[in-house]
Amino acid sequence: MSTPFPFTAVVGQDDLRLALLLNAVSPAVGGVLVRGEKGTAKSTAVRALSALMPQVDVVAGCRFSCDPGSPDPACPDGPHEAGAFESRPARMVELPVGASEDRLVGALDIERALAEGVKAFEPGLLADAHRGILYVDEVNLLHDHLVDLLLDAAAMGASYVEREGVSVRHAARFLLVGTMNPEEGELRPQLLDRFGLTVEVAASREPEQRVEVVRRRLAHDDDPAGFAARWADEEAAVRARIAAARELLPSVRLGDGALRQIAATCAAFEVDGMRADIVMARTATALAAWAGRTEVLAEDVRQAALLALPHRRRRNPFDAPGLDEDKLDETLEQFGEPEDDDPDPDGPGGGGGGGGQPPAPDSDAPQGGDPGARTEDGEGGEPQPSGAGSGEQSAVRASEPFRTKVLSVPGLGEGAAGRRSRARTEHGRTTGARRPRGTLTKLHLAATVQAAAPHQRARGRTGPGLVVRRDDLRQATREGREGNLVLFVVDASGSMAARQRMSAVKGAVLSLLLDAYQRRDKVGLVTFRGSSAEVALPPTSSVDAAAARLESLPTGGRTPLAAGLLRAHEVLRVERLRDPARRALVVVVTDGRATGGPEPVELAGRAARLFAAEQVASVVVDCESGPVRLGLAGRLAGALGGTAVTLDELRADSIAGLVKEVQGNRRAA
């Protein structure tokens, strides 16, 4: 077994280490989500934590780690009698991103259950992680059906495995720790809220600290055991401090003043629900215990807010996480003194206890002014005309996003689970049955009975009951939804550069990006202007990155439509090699003009027909405006084998064009 890197040898990353230690002191805090760029010791610190966790007592021989003091009465290995128990280190179980459902929750042998009436159950990772740590690296890439299972287990403290009326239940309470790189996509809000704390990490920009990181890493790689021995005293000291804090925790007092500060802070930052208040209270209590105190102070509440609120106050996937610390300090100060709270604070405005504090209006100004500060360059000069000619344009702010109509790929796919197009999936509506290929996972009971019924006399069955053999078993086939690759091909030429039009175009693309985020798609961005096209963003799961590139998109120059389509075609070719099961939806945002390069119209038509020949689903968002319209976008859509929608028709609540879905000239199988 390899020697892990010592927790106390991690350089810097103070917030990360503190968040992990607080969960070691009080698992009720609810786990940690670690967000940051690659190579920032996220996984190293999490794996090192397990060595500091106190040992646990378990019933001897129990595969589900039952506590001998209060064993689970419904444990599949029970009932447990008082007697033998053993102590072992708390486990850290890693959940691979590509794990199957059976690997996570356990596997029930359906064949033996039906044929022999035996409830044979093999525990999964949730059982292994009970009373320990469940670690998910790249948690944002976890499949939706696994996320749903994690949510259920985290909410109920138990895991249920059900197969056609045969069920197994076992306890599953664990410390959930996840790491992720935001560039690869965001996390579903339901799972995001399940993490008690969140920490943003980044590599140090201090040369001396970076030197020390490299020095320690090389020393560990050269002699892991020797390096760990040099840090043994520090590790033992932290382990003892965790044990002492755990003992002190029940004695820590959370006063009414601290509770009022917690409630006021959550209200001030407009977090959803009450989980944030509860997590902040538990975190502040753990902070006091870690500091060796029996009373929660304002500094504990402040630190708890910085760890528990940033990921809960996000309103949409394009908002940057974080907390306004000036506003936090002002809220804590306003509600910090109980003796000042009694006389005045219930008066109108709630500011009577502040003694005429000037910071309140000032702190509001930056919040309302932040977006305004960004718009000084883009929108402050509103009278400036945009000359839609060949000149270079500064970036234009996107208009307000809206809810878009559903654009889907026709036919039935088999790609990654998502919420856009129809697909054969492991979860969803049952549509039929087939013979199992490999292990049977989803039994189609009616089809199995139908297959077995004609053979009962030959098998000697004359009375009630049914003899079922392996050849009779039928696997249920299901239909659900898949995520697609939505490739945006955006015209940034001079004909699109009118400020009002480009703002509307960016708003439409931003709306489609938001829709892609909600439907678990990958996205890519190709832009064309002047004399060429470029891949502004290769296909990725991060719609945040796409939104950022879109925000800074410059405009101007001619319209090399053919170059944009050919570049998009090449992006799709490469992506098909990487992920052949994921189907693509190409969204071309243009007015349809083609003016760049020799014979621009003919070349654009030939490039478009490449997509039609390969039956690539496509839609053209027609950005043409004005009283006289040439209908060029509609012609382009015909050449692509797709359909065209105007910006107005793209809105889900528009009256024009009641339902617009992507359809090819040929109906996919």
**How do strand 584-590 and strand 475-482 relate by DSSP bridges?**
unpaired
Q: Which of 173, 241, 275, 424 is catalytic?
A: 275
Say if CB 74 and CB 169 are below 8 A apart: yes
Report d(CA 589, CA 536) in Å as an integer: 14
Q: Would you put residue 335 in left (φ > 0), alpha (ψ -120 to 50) or beta?
A: alpha
- The closest of 152, 169, 151 to 108, measured between CA atoms, is 169
Say if CB 595 and CB 559 are below 8 A apart: yes
Say if CB 484 and CB 420 are below 8 A apart: yes
- The closest of 475, 480, 471 to 444, measured between CA atoms, is 475
- The closest of 99, 88, 109 to 134, measured between CA atoms, is 99
Helical pair 14-25 and 298-308, crossing angle rounded to 10 deg: 100
Helix then strand count (H, E) for the chain reads 22, 20
The one-character DSSP state at 186 is P
What token pair was written down for 175? 């410390």
How is 221-237 classified by DSSP, letter by letter? HH-HHHHHHHTHHHHHH
Amino acid, res. 75: C
What token pair was written down for 62? 């129990």
> Which residues are CB-contacts of 96 (< 8 A; sequence separation ≥ 6)?
103
> Which residues are CB-contacts of 323 (< 8 A; sequence separation ≥ 6)?
269, 305, 306, 309, 310, 313
Report d(CA 20, CA 29) in Å as an integer: 10
Helical pair 543-551 and 499-518, crossing angle rounded to 10 deg: 180
Q: In what order do the strands lie in the sheet with 429-434?
A: 417-425, 475-482, 429-434
In what helix (H) or strand (E) does residue 538 lie, and over which residues does it extend? strand 532-540
Determine the 3-state secondary structure of 140 from DSSP: helix
Say if CB 248 and CB 292 are below 8 A apart: yes
What token pair was written down for 252? 């820590």
Report d(CA 37, CA 180) in Å as an integer: 8
Report d(CA 561, CA 530) in Å as an integer: 10
Give phi and psi for 121, each to the nearest 5.
Answer: -125, 130
Report d(CA 205, CA 34) in Å as an integer: 19
CB contact burial 613-628 (16+ within 10 A = b; e otherwise): eebbbbbbbbbbeeee
Active-site residue flag, 420 = no
How is 489-535 classified by DSSP, letter by letter? EEE-SGGG--HHHHHHHHHHHHHHHHHHHHTT-EEEEEEEETTEEEE
What token pair was written down for 352? 């009577």
Amino acid, res. 641: G
Say if CB 651 and CB 402 are below 8 A apart: yes
In what helix (H) or strand (E) does residue 619 lie, and over which residues does it extend? strand 617-622
CB-based burial label for 376 (10 Å; 0-12, 13-18, 19+):
exposed
Report d(CA 221, CA 331) in Å as an integer: 47
- Which residues are marked as active site? 275
